């Protein structure tokens, strides 16, 4: 989703801005642009499509003597993804340029006010009100910092806003509310950016701005002010914590395939240093500081979105079974609106790969006044959610570049197993066995990956279908949801997911010879029920692909159209392995259809607007 970069230094300001934009590409975007001061005026170059297209536009322009520059990658919210709607946006005489991430909820009202005063709009974005509004205040005060502040005070919604102007061309102005923004502190230059990766190339330290803060950033100094109490803010810069977001695809055709293949390493990294088989111990260092509070919790609410929400559903099964603590999983986007009672011992667990998902952040903010224990399972180090939660466990899955989440799910569920086992006060009977099994799971995951050719062959045969059903029961139900999300996301095939038991309560009506089903059926306890589902589907002419184990295959051999035989593991760990199967299945279908797998249409990696 939208990314922001800004640079003030001695020379060549555009280069680090482009570099920051490239580092932010993983978030997903549909257009890009920069504005830079060339010593006499601000120039503005924008392009629909990729940052590479923007760089092509810049090849014939002398950017060496640029000292201040701002840049943006846009993911359309208001207005189509065109060059016209790309950021930076500007005022009438092109002296004030603004980039923005988020949504300005009162933009319509501000636009009408400005139009009534003679301001003319050229784009369809909500952002364009900002440079005009700053201009409006500047005409009154002739003080650009004051004008920026007054404009920010008028905005409602969620925003990270960065502005440069010809009035004070060696300064960048920044403000944020509910959307991440940071100052990158360098030796001979300073930067602003949406996250650490945006500033990592030319800055050494980072200062994360808080809501209602305004920053003025110059080459060798910066100041931060709180908009509410108007006081100066002093905050020490932190080390920049990022893993190399410029990971390469290596020999893989897509990042998604590479990231699926990282599953064994991902499981290994998630358990590394956290389990000790010899002493039967689990050590989650990130939770040490809240150990006392954890002992008393009697209810956990998991809040998350998309794939992270589905990992949360597996977590619900795990924590309730292994730790005997009641759990609810709520879509973060819905949790915000619910009015429900919490006890003092309720804990909120946010799960997020990026740590920047706006809905999940909003869910955490909602419970701030209650002072509840907030925990995070986050992949991206130093991200907003990792900083907002009182304690947490990092996934250590490394940067996930493909928009469709794969290895993050693997890591999240692995960590949820560890969390569930460690929360169990009366150690679950399964504790020891699961710990031992977990230690060998990376090897088992390798066996799943070795099934790729067989999965590919089946996927290609089914790739012409327009609809798909995924079913599962118990721990395999969330995997069905994940399979259907992955398939629709990257192949644009309509997919549904149901708990097997629900099939005859409605969705069975959809089934015919053109609506195949992938059934997850490796559970040693629930296979017979799933076998009945397969029979029901078969009786309606539907084709079935059954994922099961060697031991269970006899139950499906004669009724399934295709079988994918996977190694046997405990029910509690099966989602980790079966997820790899549905990820590969979806990937091979999308590849066969020639889809843009790593950057599916309309989607962004980091969903930073609500």
DSSP bridge pairs for 375: 349, 391
The owner of tokens 């460690």 is: 422
Query: Between residues 383 and 548, which has the closer beta carbon with respect to ligand F6R?
Result: 383
Q: What are phi and psi of 2, to 5 degrees?
A: -40, 145
Query: Between residues 420 and 582, which has the closer beta carbon with respect to ligand F6R?
Result: 582
Instruction: Check if the beta carbon of residue 44 is closer than 8 Å to that of residue 68.
Output: no
Q: Which letter does DSSP use for residue 30 in this model?
A: S
DSSP bridge pairs for 183: 192, 207
Q: Which position among 265, 486, 599, 605 bears the catalytic label?
A: 605
2 annotated active-site: yes
Binding of residue 489 to ligand F6R (CB under 6 A): yes
Query: Between residues 386 and 552, which has the closer beta carbon with respect to ligand F6R?
Result: 386
Which residue, 508, 506, 502, 501, is CA-closest to 526?
501
Closest separation in Å from C-beta 170 to ligand F6R: 36
Give the residue at shortest CB distance from ligand F6R: 306
Instruction: For the chain, report the end-to-end CA distance as a whole number of angstroms.
Output: 11
Query: Which x/- pattern, by CB under 6 A, does the window 405-424 give for ligand F6R?
Result: x-------------------
Cα separation, 477 vs 496, whole angstroms? 12
Distances (CA, A) of 521 to 21, 96, 108, 493: 44, 60, 52, 23
Cα separation, 509 vs 498, whole angstroms? 13
Closest separation in Å from C-beta 402 to ligand F6R: 8
Closest separation in Å from C-beta 64 to ligand F6R: 38
Cα separation, 226 vs 211, whole angstroms? 8
DSSP bridge pairs for 192: 6, 183
Binding of residue 306 to ligand F6R (CB under 6 A): yes
Binding of residue 609 to ligand F6R (CB under 6 A): no
Size of the site for ligand F6R (CB under 6 A): 14
Backbone torsion region of residue 178, taken as left when φ is above 0, otherwise alpha when ψ lies between -120 and 50, otherwise beta? left
Query: Between residues 73 and 428, which has the closer beta carbon with respect to ligand F6R?
Result: 73
Closest separation in Å from C-beta 278 to ligand F6R: 34
From 307, 452, 552, 586, residue interacting with ligand F6R (rule: CB under 6 A): 307
Query: Which x/- pattern, by CB under 6 A, does the window 368-407 give for ligand F6R?
Result: ------------------------------------xx--
Q: What are phi and psi of 194, to 5 degrees?
A: -70, -30
Query: Between residues 404 and 582, which has the closer beta carbon with respect to ligand F6R?
Result: 404
Closest separation in Å from C-beta 297 to ligand F6R: 23
Instruction: Check if the beta carbon of residue 520 is closer than 8 Å to that of residue 547.
Output: yes
Closest separation in Å from C-beta 432 to ligand F6R: 31
Bond from prior residue into 144 cis (ω within 30 degrees of 0): no
From 194, 308, 333, 414, residue interacting with ligand F6R (rule: CB under 6 A): 308
Tokens read off for 231: 């006081």
Query: Between residues 190 and 405, which has the closer beta carbon with respect to ligand F6R?
Result: 405
Which residue, 95, 70, 89, 273, is CA-closest to 181?
70
Query: Between residues 91 and 360, which has the closer beta carbon with respect to ligand F6R?
Result: 360
- Give the DSSP H/E element, type plus range, for residue 444: helix 441-449
Cα separation, 559 vs 562, whole angstroms? 9
From 181, 305, 519, 589, residue interacting with ligand F6R (rule: CB under 6 A): 305
Q: Which position among 2, 19, 395, 595 bears the catalytic label?
A: 2
Query: Between residues 17 and 361, which has the closer beta carbon with respect to ligand F6R?
Result: 361
Closest separation in Å from C-beta 363 to ligand F6R: 11
HSE, side-chain direction, 13 A CA sphere, residue 1 = 20
* Residue 248: Cβ-neighbour burial (10 angstroms; 0-12, 13-18, 19+): exposed
Closest separation in Å from C-beta 243 to ligand F6R: 15
Binding of residue 544 to ligand F6R (CB under 6 A): no
Binding of residue 315 to ligand F6R (CB under 6 A): no
Query: Which x/- pattern, by CB under 6 A, does the window 329-368 give for ligand F6R?
Result: -----------------------xxx--x--x--------
**Which residues are at the interface with ligand F6R (CB under 6 A)?**
305-308, 352-354, 357, 360, 404-405, 485, 489, 607
Q: Which residues are catalytic?
A: 2, 605
């Amino acid at each position: 989703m939208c990314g922001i970069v800004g640079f003030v230094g001695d020379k060549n300001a555009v280069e680090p801005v482009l570099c920051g934009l490239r580092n932010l590409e993983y978030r997903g975007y549909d257009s890009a642009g920069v504005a830079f001061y060339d010593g006499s005026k601000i120039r503005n170059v924008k392009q629909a499509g990729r940052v590479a297209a923007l760089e092509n536009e810049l090849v014939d322009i002398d950017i060496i003597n640029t000292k201040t520059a701002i840049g943006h990658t846009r993911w359309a919210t208001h207005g189509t993804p065109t060059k016209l709607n790309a950021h930076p946006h500007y005022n009438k005489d092109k002296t004030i340029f603004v980039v923005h991430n988020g949504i300005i909820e009162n933009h319509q009202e501000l636009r009408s006010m400005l139009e009534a005063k003679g301001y003319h709009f050229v784009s369809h974005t909500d952002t364009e009100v900002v440079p005009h509004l700053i201009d409006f205040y500047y005409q009154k005060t002739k003080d650009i910092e004051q004008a920026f502040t007054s404009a920010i005070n008028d905005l409602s919604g969620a925003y990270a806003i960065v502005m440069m102007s010809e009035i004070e061309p060696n300064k960048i102005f920044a403000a944020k509310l509910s959307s991440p923004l940071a100052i990158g502190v360098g030796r001979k230059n300073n930067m602003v950016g949406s996250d650490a990766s945006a500033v990592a190339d030319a800055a050494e330290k980072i200062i994360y701005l808080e809501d209602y803060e305004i920053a003025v950033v110059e080459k060798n100094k910066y100041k931060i002010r709180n908009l509410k109490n108007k006081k100066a803010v002093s905050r020490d810069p932190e080390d920049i914590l990022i893993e190399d977001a410029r990971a390469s695809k290596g020999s893989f055709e897509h990042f998604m395939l590479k990231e699926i293949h990282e599953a064994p390493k991902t499981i290994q990294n998630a358990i590394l240093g956290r389990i000790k088989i010899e002493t039967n111990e689990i050590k989650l260092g990130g939770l040490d500081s809240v150990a006392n509070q954890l002992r008393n919790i009697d209810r956990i609410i998991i809040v998350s979105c998309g794939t992270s929400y589905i990992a949360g559903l597996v977590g619900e099964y795990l924590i309730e079974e292994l730790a005997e603590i009641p759990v609810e999983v709520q879509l973060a986007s819905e949790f915000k609106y619910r009015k429900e009672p919490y006890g003092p011992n309720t804990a909120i667990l946010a799960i997020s790969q990026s740590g920047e998902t706006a809905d999940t952040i909003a869910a955490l903010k909602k419970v701030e006044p209650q002072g509840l224990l907030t925990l995070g399972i986050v992949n991206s180090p130093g991200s907003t959610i990792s900083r907002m939660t009182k304690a947490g466990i990092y996934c250590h899955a490394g940067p996930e570049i493909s928009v469709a989440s794969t290895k993050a799910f693997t890591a999240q569920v692995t960590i949820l197993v560890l969390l569930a086992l460690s929360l169990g006060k009366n150690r679950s009977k399964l504790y020891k066995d699961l710990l031992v099994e977990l230690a060998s799971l990376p090897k088992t995951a390798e066996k799943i990956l070795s099934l790729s050719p067989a999965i590919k062959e089946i996927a290609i045969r089914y790739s012409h279908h327009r609809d798909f059903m995924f079913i599962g029961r118990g721990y395999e139900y969330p995997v069905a949801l994940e399979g259907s999300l992955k398939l629709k996301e990257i192949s644009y095939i309509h997919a549904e997911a149901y708990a097997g038991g629900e099939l005859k309560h409605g969705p069975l009506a959809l089934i015919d010879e053109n609506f195949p089903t992938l059934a997850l059926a490796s559970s040693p306890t629930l296979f017979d029920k799933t076998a009945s589902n397969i029979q029901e589907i078969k009786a309606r002419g539907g084709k079935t692909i059954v994922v099961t184990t060697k031991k269970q295959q006899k139950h499906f051999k004669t009724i399934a159209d295709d079988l994918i035989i996977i190694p046997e593991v405990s029910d509690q760990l099966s989602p980790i392995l079966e997820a790899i199967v549905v990820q590969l299945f979806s990937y091979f279908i999308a590849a066969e259809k020639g889809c843009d797998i790593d950057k599916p249409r309309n989607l962004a990696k980091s969903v930073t607007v609500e």
